[in-house]
Structure 1
Amino acid sequence: MRFTAPSRLGVTLAASAALLASTVGPAYAAPAADEPASTPVPIDIVDGTLMSYVVNLDVANPGQTRLAERAVENAGGVVVQSWPQIGVVVAHSTSAKFLDELPTGPGTPVESAGPTRTAAVSEGTPDLGRETTPGDRGAAPYKRQLRVDGLDAGDVTSAADAAEVREGGLWSLDMVHAYEAHEVSEGSDGVLVGVLDSGIDAAHPDLAPSVDASTSVGCTAAGRPDTSPEAWGVTTSGHGTHVAGTIAAARDGAGVVGVAPNVRMASVKVVNDDGYIYPEYAICGFVWAAEHGMDVTNNSYYVDPFEFWCGDQPFQAPAMEAVRRAVDYATGRGVVHAAAAGNSAYDLANKSTNASSPNDGTAVERQINSTCKDIPTELDGVVTVSALGQDGNKAGFSNFGEGVVDVSAPGAGIVSTWPGGGYARLSGTSMASPHVAGVLALLKSTHPDAGPDELVALLEEQADDTGCPADAGLCGGDATDNGFYGEGIVNALDAVTAG
């Protein structure tokens, strides 16, 4: 994936206005002429039920933000969090008329606005001097205890056998040549990786040396940042702890080791205790990464409640646009992003139907089209990662797509850290993406002045070309770039030895 973005170096607050202006774009997209429109998904907004919204400004600056905040309040809403850097306001309201009464379009500061979920806000509104209680979830019940990256953790998790827990000989690190790379570099502690996930067990012996509490944050209180350890620590899910171990578990003579064991990690908690990653959580995470010196983010999830957010739908496009702005802002501040391609065995290059969304209410069978995106992995500037099995073939569950997948990495039966000082074996593109984040961290360590575009170019150039299997008709492309492997299997050794 190619993109151009300024390095974090030299980007000052005074100079940020021009950069911010470039992040503001149209919220809606039309399908291609030969495509059908996507199927609308009704969202039942009822008086008295607390709902969450994003409000996108036409210009990203503090003055317009204040005007938009006033408009939110006049429409019966509460401003939860404002991000003037990207021209986005997160608001709550119990009024069914909130969107109707919020002025949008020419002559107003608001370009677009829409809901961020189909369910009521389970966490309530953070204490902003006005008490608001959670709405009634009855119309849209939570269906899972934990959902990440399209798989229930109970379906993919098992305790690791003692023989599997070892610093040397992990097949996944062998496949990406990490052990060979460690003989040259284990990464620099000046590089910071943001683990946007379900929190990290910072007390785990393999992770304690790497977790930077000073840059960690929780974003699941309605998208408002909270730096308390309770906000960014692990609660109901071990997913983030597992991901973190693959990236940077320490070489300490015990347990496992990560792809880049000397880099630092920040826990950026974007998964709530019910297992959901709503747009306002992800927005908080990406802007936080931009503002707190992160070099790489790992994103092993898709943003709920839609597996695919459709740009031609007025109730979906505004939230997708808000997340896009946050990703673009972080990229512009020097952050490079790796993301899981997803686990639905879906051809992302040829979208047609989807029956999994919304996942916080009643899912519907719907027509989708090219405006519908799995976010953040399909956003510009994000490295889309497919998953491989130990045999080097694409894992059966992994999404794919010619021109969509950028690189591939191990993702089946991956042994890594687990809360409480333990270890577990998980499968998913969630497990492939942190291998790539680790390689990007090594690249940043050996190329400290490289910006996101240069790092992605290096990542792809150094990946090992891998052709499609003979009987894989959906793979497409050739040995240098195809729908299963993208530009190839990432190579950590080449990352630390290339000039």
Structure 2
Amino acid sequence: MQKVPFRRAAATAVCAVTMAATTFIGGSAVAAPPQTPSTPIEFPAADGQLMSYVVNAKAANRGQTKQASRAVQAAGGVTVQEWPEIGVVIAQSDRASFRADVLKQGKSHVVSVGATRTITVAEGTPAGIDTPWQTAQQPQLPQLRSKQLANTDLLYGDATFDGVTADPRENEQWDKAQIKANQAHQITDGSRDVLVGVLDSGIDPVHPDLQANIDVTASVNCTDAGRPDTSPTGWFPTTSSHGTHVAGIIGAPRNGIGITGVAPNVRMASVKVVNDAGSIYPEYAICGFMWAGMKGMDVTNNSYYVDPMQFWCGDQPDQKAVLDAVEKAVAWSTKQGVVHAAAAGNASYDLANKTTDDVSPNDISGTHRQINNGCKDIPTELDGVVTVASTDQAGKLSSFSNRGLNVIDVAAPGSRILSTLPNNKYGLLSGTSMASPQVAGVLALMKSEHPGWAPSNMIAQLRSQAQDQSCKPSATPTGSECVGSAANNSYYGEGIVDALRAVR
């Protein structure tokens, strides 16, 4: 059956007042139902409270970005990082009036300013930056309310962990058979020329089933307030084994021990975007995407959503500024040749029909709020990003997986996936966090066989090659029934990813 055209259209930001969209049916204009404005979320700042911001310049060039930095300084803040390639400045300030003052001081050069979190910057200001405020001992990092990274290592909720001993277990990797990676390996294990960025919590640098495939020179820590930290150990995992598990799914080498990844011969870079409390703030993600483009990576995996909002709404000023900045970072890295895979999320939520959000913001007490389809789960809902749902061993949609007609691109195994853990261990984790790296691995194999393919071509091929799946029964809640055809539906998108077709 005919596949739907590649990639959904970008959602149009709505204003604070209710607006109606217009569609065309049979040549006649028809007004679509208006979207309900999202419930405002305050991003408070008090004098003396150190906060982090994105500042969007009016143009993506060095001159405009420098002018935006000057406006930051004039408003009593400091620049942590400039990204002139996209016209974004990461700034900090302890003044309550900072946002308004930056817009006033930079009225000819700044288009928007947004706070990146609702709490004080726990990590403080990076070393070497002169600040107009007193440098004090920062409070301990807060633990996320609903996305905590602890022994179960969840970047999304509703996952499980079981420890197992470390020995050769490739025969237990049912997931590789479901996506036909075992057959694809008869053709190729991937190329050493291909580099996959694992934007996550760090990769165990000495795990015997990972060490050979880690590119140390391309690895970085982005959790130092959004400034790239290239220190030798900055990208190591600290409080979470999540990134190590994800890395094994993508590229554990074929070395006679442990497991085998989807693309066992490609290189991987550890791009640490998860801080010790389990938070992935916008400045961390922006740094990760920019680093991937600067280092010439071919693929990135993103098994997270950007904190503290489960959905970032375009009709709220702070959220819109952040949404724009992350979107620009993704678009720029894509233009450099990087293709991105991302987890759809584990809230068993219909991303095509957004109504409410009970999670955000997750760095303080969240609130029940109304949202609309102009609110996005980022990075997975950004254009040019492959949105991945999760399947179980029977090929059904995992009970925790998000879904959405024309939002999900493809599906991949994510329930009880065996992979690497720190300290020479192996274990089972469940989540769309485990499904996304399956797709990243397939993209790495595809890039190995077709090095000249651009990201848009790779995504189009990935979608068209996927194994069509009819709507199968699922354990998802009532009201979340599968809609669409076998060629494209709300559970599987265009089907379960197919590694064998990718390398053919």
The Cα shift of 1:458 comes to: 1.1
1:421 correspondence with 2:421: no
Do the aligned partners of residues 176 and 32 (structure 1) sit closer, same or farther apart at CA in structure 2, a change above 3 Å counting? farther
- The residue identity in structure 2 corresponding to 1:282 is A
Residue matched to 2:494: 487
Secondary structure of the residue that 1:56 maps to in structure 2?
Answer: strand
User: Percent of pairs identical after alignment?
Assistant: 54
Secondary structure of the residue that 1:243 maps to in structure 2?
Answer: helix
1:80 correspondence with 2:80: yes
Query: Match for 2:316 among 296, 313, 317?
Result: 313
- The residue identity in structure 1 corresponding to 2:57 is L
Conservation of the 8 A alpha-carbon contact between 1:290 and 1:335: yes
**2: CA distance, partners of 1:484 / 1:118:** 33
Residue matched to 2:101: 101
Secondary structure of the residue that 1:232 maps to in structure 2?
Answer: coil
1:160 correspondence with 2:167: no
**2: CA distance, partners of 1:162 / 1:322:** 42
Residue matched to 1:343: 346
Secondary structure of the residue that 1:312 maps to in structure 2?
Answer: coil
Secondary structure of the residue that 1:423 maps to in structure 2?
Answer: strand
Query: Match for 1:149 among 155, 164, 180?
Result: 155
1:407 correspondence with 2:410: yes
The Cα shift of 1:201 comes to: 0.5
Residue matched to 1:11: none
Conservation of the 8 A alpha-carbon contact between 2:48 and 2:95: yes
- The residue identity in structure 1 corresponding to 2:36 is P
**2: CA distance, partners of 1:162 / 1:68:** 52
Residue matched to 2:301: 298
Do the aligned partners of residues 28 and 190 (structure 1) sit closer, same or farther apart at CA in structure 2, a change above 3 Å counting? farther
Residue matched to 2:41: 41
Secondary structure of the residue that 2:349 maps to in structure 1?
Answer: coil
**2: CA distance, partners of 1:44 / 1:386:** 34
Do the aligned partners of residues 100 and 141 (structure 1) sit closer, same or farther apart at CA in structure 2, a change above 3 Å counting? farther
The Cα shift of 1:166 comes to: 1.1
Deviation by residue 1:191-249 (Cα, 9 ceiling, x = unmatched): 00000000000210111110000100000000000112321111110000000000000
Residue matched to 1:372: 375
**2: CA distance, partners of 1:87 / 1:365:** 34
**1: CA distance, partners of 2:141 / 2:263:** 45
Gaps of 5+ in 1: 5-22
* TM-score between the two structures when normalised by the length of structure 2: 0.90
Residue matched to 1:114: 114
Do the aligned partners of residues 84 and 134 (structure 1) sit closer, same or farther apart at CA in structure 2, a change above 3 Å counting? farther
**2: CA distance, partners of 1:392 / 1:141:** 34
**1: CA distance, partners of 2:143 / 2:185:** 47
Count of matched residue pairs: 475
Residue matched to 1:202: 205
Secondary structure of the residue that 1:420 maps to in structure 2?
Answer: coil
TM-align CA RMSD = 2.3
Alignment of 1:399-478 (within 5 A): 399-469=402-472, 474-478=481-485
**2: CA distance, partners of 1:373 / 1:464:** 27
**2: CA distance, partners of 1:460 / 1:157:** 30
1:180 correspondence with 2:159: no
Residue matched to 2:221: 218
- The residue identity in structure 2 corresponding to 1:68 is A
**2: CA distance, partners of 1:26 / 1:74:** 33
The Cα shift of 1:167 comes to: 2.4
- The residue identity in structure 2 corresponding to 1:392 is G
Residue matched to 2:91: 91
Secondary structure of the residue that 2:501 maps to in structure 1?
Answer: helix
**2: CA distance, partners of 1:54 / 1:416:** 36
- The residue identity in structure 2 corresponding to 1:86 is I
1:358 correspondence with 2:361: yes
Residue matched to 2:241: 238
The Cα shift of 1:470 comes to: 5.9
Conservation of the 8 A alpha-carbon contact between 2:13 and 2:374: no
> Larger deviation: 339-348 or 460-469?
460-469
Secondary structure of the residue that 2:368 maps to in structure 1?
Answer: strand
